[in-house]
Structure 1
Amino acid sequence: MKIVHVVEPFVSGVAVFVKLLVENLPNDQHIIIHGERKDVAPAEAVKKTFPVKNVKFIKWRSAQRSINPKKDLLAFMELYSILKRLKKKNLVDAVHLHSSKSGFLGRLACRLANIDNVVYTPNGAPFLLKGASPVGMLYKALEKIGSALGGKVVCCSQSEQQVYLSLGIKALNINNGIPVNKNLPQVNLPKGNRFRIVNCARITDQKNPWLFNEIAKQFEGMEQFEFIWVGDGEAREALTSSNIVISGWIPEKKAHEIVSTSDIYLSTSNFEGLSFSVLEALVFKKPVLLTDCVGNKDVVKKGLNGDLFQSAKGAVLKIMQYFNNRKMLTVMGEYSSNYCKQAFNISSTSSMYRNLYSGNNLVA
């Protein structure tokens, strides 16, 4: 089967998602039409992480992040031209659109190119960040218009699916998945007796670094506690607390080492699709303390592998509870690992997408 992936943000979680699908569907041919965000990672660097045997890349040169009618028209025309050319060469059995910009422009382009087998995965509903603001309302309107153009909306968590259903948009759910049999990293990072709290993400509005900072500030002057943000981003200046270490962009192996040495994984996101970093924390047998938001709430079994919180005070209370009961963290970590194997296994995820590409019915 020839599967065409359209990806505007060819970085972070979306790039991980596409890479995992390509790796776990090795008997299919994958063509990736991609944009580039050089401020995060050059496209050439991302491409080097993919297998070489069953994937080809086409650069979507005019694609860009923000909404700009003139530039978006150029991006649409370029994408339509690429898809039309691929179809003419009989290289399109299914088109998978990843993220909101690709989802809207891609569904319009597929409609005009008479491509019917289209799947759209938002991987984080864009209107959730802007809420009831004019921009948020615009994003909602675009999602509704996009759904009318055809294709299947496939959310990556049940809570994200419920958000789309509440807008009157028919949506299916296939959980994001990761390899669940990873070997734990061999770590030589000294930690001493410190209680290490880690987050791994881009430092952006969506990830709410201000809340992370507010939580960390409650522990300033308490040398037993250490906060690490693995990653970097435009909102880096929000992390001012003296007990926060910002790693910057580091190799994946090093990031995994840091997460694996943590006592708990802390996410302060405003919303998620279903975070791959959180899923990796589960694989690494870590309790997770996450904001009670779309995407995060699907990962937590309260009190068994972690907890949800709604305020900095709530997070601080939970951290103190974990600190004073360290023995419980091992048990919670084991539950995290087992739950990930059960609910977020990439083998199941890729198999369900393969069925969807093939036109088989999928139960939501």
Structure 2
Amino acid sequence: MPKTKVLLILESQGGSRRHVVDLIHGLDPARFEVTLIYGTSRMDKQFIEGLDDLARYARLIPCDHLVRPISPKDELAALKQVRCVIREIRPDVVHCHSSKAGIIGRLAAKLEHVPKVFYTPHAYSFQAPEFGGKKRVVFVGLERWFSRHATTCTFNVSAGERDAALAEKLDAPSKFDVIVNGIPDEPVPSRAQARAALGLPADGKVVGVTARMVEQKDPMTFARIAAAVTAADPTVTFVYIGDGPLEQDVHEYLNAAGGDVAERVRLLGYREDADAVVSAFDAYLLTSLYEGMPYSLIEALRAGVPVVTTDVTGNNEVVRPGVNGELFPAGDAEAGAAAVRRVLAEPPTREAVRGSYLDRFTADRMVDAIAAHYQGLGRDGGRNGGKSTR
């Protein structure tokens, strides 16, 4: 039986990059022949360092014109390159990831008459609070047209993301399938090992996060929660792993908070081992304003660490209050501090937290669901609705 030829298209990095890399690693090479077109303007360190290994599993084609900013010149050049690749390899499937690749890739696939075209938004652009008014109308219009005219099926990483698509009437419900992110069940360091690696005390409670210091992640609410909790209990240490444009603002807030708050909240910057050292924490605190399906929460569950996070799309599909963590309203530092205190006082068992990861968020489940669609066995084929076959 001939292999199914799959062309993946990726511009963004971060969670989208991780999703695509895990997908490439997970697809059976006896059944699939994979090519990846990737943008070069925003490659992160992990992607760059993993290129040689990734080349063992897929043909890699860089595209310098696949960029995030709106640039008609670059977009036309990227479209031309993607069309040339499609003509060369004649894929059975084109699968586009995030907004920019979603527009260029799906248009190229439509113009070249590719049989199956799939799209994973990784959170729609119109869901971002900073996009309102005319911009939001444009984004919704683009998503609606491409879904209806150039997409076989959209894979949403959360039910909330799918519900947002249906609320905007992007397309018929049958054109969407929820396939949540998954990660491999790899071993992580012990709590003692992770704390030693981070330079943290072996005893005492530690609340931490691994996230960029950007508006979406709302690090100032993290800082306010940390100030409230440590003021009442100086034995608790807060840790923020990640950098970004709001780092200085957080530093200034903590220094102005008084007492020993600045000493109890450690800003450790970017770390390559962030997904592993999460095992140092007694609770994981993510204060996002919006999400698709954040990998960091899944990494915490894999390590057996309970999660305290905002009650927004994606987050509220990972966290089951009373089972693996707690939820609180976005931007509400007082409620967040109370939720942290509850989890530290009565933490769920590590087995219950890990069990919630194993039930839904393994890489095998994610890859199997997507592979079924590629081969016509998902919702389109009417056999298993995109569910895991393992």
TM-score by length of structure 1 reads 0.89
- State the match for 1:270 in structure 2: 289
Letter in 2 for 1:154: F
- Stretch moving more, 61-70 or 104-113: 61-70
1:3 aligns with 2:6: yes
- State the match for 2:356 in structure 1: 339
Preserved contact between residue 213 and residue 238 of structure 1 (Cα < 8 Å): no
**2:338 aligned to which of 307, 311, 317:** 317
**1:24 aligned to which of 26, 31, 39:** 26
Compared CA separation, residues 43 and 177, structure 1 to 2 (3 A): closer
Q: Which blocks of at least 5 consecutive residues in structure 1 are unaligned?
A: none
In the TM superposition, 1:205-224 aligns within 5 A as 205-219=215-229, 223-224=234-235
- State the match for 1:237 in structure 2: 248
Preserved contact between residue 288 and residue 306 of structure 1 (Cα < 8 Å): yes
1:133 deviation in Å? 3.5
- Stretch moving more, 156-165 or 233-242: 233-242
1:40 deviation in Å? 4.0
- Could you tell me how far apart the structure 1 residues matched to 2:209 and 2:137 are? 30
- State the match for 1:95 in structure 2: 94
- State the match for 1:299 in structure 2: 318
- State the match for 2:66 in structure 1: 63
Preserved contact between residue 11 and residue 98 of structure 2 (Cα < 8 Å): yes
Preserved contact between residue 193 and residue 224 of structure 1 (Cα < 8 Å): no
- Could you tell me how far apart the structure 1 residues matched to 2:378 and 2:135 are? 35
Please list the CA deviations of residues 157-204 of structure 1 after superposition, one character each: whole Å capped at 9, or x if unmatched. Answer: 111111111111242111111123x22314151423332111112222
- Could you tell me how far apart the structure 2 residues matched to 1:36 and 1:360 are? 33
- Stretch moving more, 161-170 or 113-122: 161-170
1:6 deviation in Å? 0.2
- State the match for 1:348 in structure 2: 365
1:133 aligns with 2:147: no
1:51 deviation in Å? 4.0
**1:246 aligned to which of 254, 267, 272:** 267
Preserved contact between residue 79 and residue 108 of structure 2 (Cα < 8 Å): yes
- State the match for 2:347 in structure 1: 329
Q: SS where residue 366 of structure 2 aligns?
A: helix
What is the aligned-residue identity percentage?
26
Q: SS where residue 329 of structure 1 aligns?
A: coil
Preserved contact between residue 185 and residue 256 of structure 1 (Cα < 8 Å): no
**2:327 aligned to which of 308, 315, 318:** 308
Preserved contact between residue 197 and residue 228 of structure 1 (Cα < 8 Å): yes
**1:194 aligned to which of 199, 204, 207:** 204
TM-score by length of structure 2 reads 0.84
- Could you tell me how far apart the structure 2 residues matched to 1:80 and 1:111 are? 10
Across the aligned residues of Structure 1 and Structure 2, the Cα RMSD in angstroms comes to 2.1
In the TM superposition, 1:276-287 aligns within 5 A as 276-287=295-306
1:233 deviation in Å? 2.2
- State the match for 2:258 in structure 1: none
1:153 deviation in Å? 0.9
- Structure with the largest fraction of helix: 2
1:54 aligns with 2:54: no
Please list the CA deviations of residues 223-260 of structure 1 after superposition, one character each: whole Å capped at 9, or x if unmatched. Answer: 322222222223323322224323222223xx244310
Letter in 2 for 1:160: E
Q: Which blocks of at least 5 consecutive residues in structure 2 are unaligned?
A: 255-261, 380-384
- State the match for 2:48 in structure 1: 44
Q: SS where residue 64 of structure 1 aligns?
A: coil
**2:374 aligned to which of 338, 357, 364:** 357
- Stretch moving more, 238-247 or 259-268: 238-247
- Could you tell me how far apart the structure 2 residues matched to 1:231 and 1:286 are? 18
- State the match for 2:157 in structure 1: 156
Please list the CA deviations of residues 263-289 of structure 1 after superposition, one character each: whole Å capped at 9, or x if unmatched. Answer: 111111122221111101001001111
1:228 aligns with 2:249: no
Preserved contact between residue 17 and residue 47 of structure 2 (Cα < 8 Å): no
**2:177 aligned to which of 172, 175, 190:** 172
How many residues get paired? 351
**2:309 aligned to which of 290, 303, 309:** 290
Compared CA separation, residues 194 and 42, structure 1 to 2 (3 A): closer
Larger-Rg structure: 2
Letter in 1 for 2:336: A
- Could you tell me how far apart the structure 2 residues matched to 1:46 and 1:26 are? 19
1:354 deviation in Å? 0.7
1:93 deviation in Å? 1.9
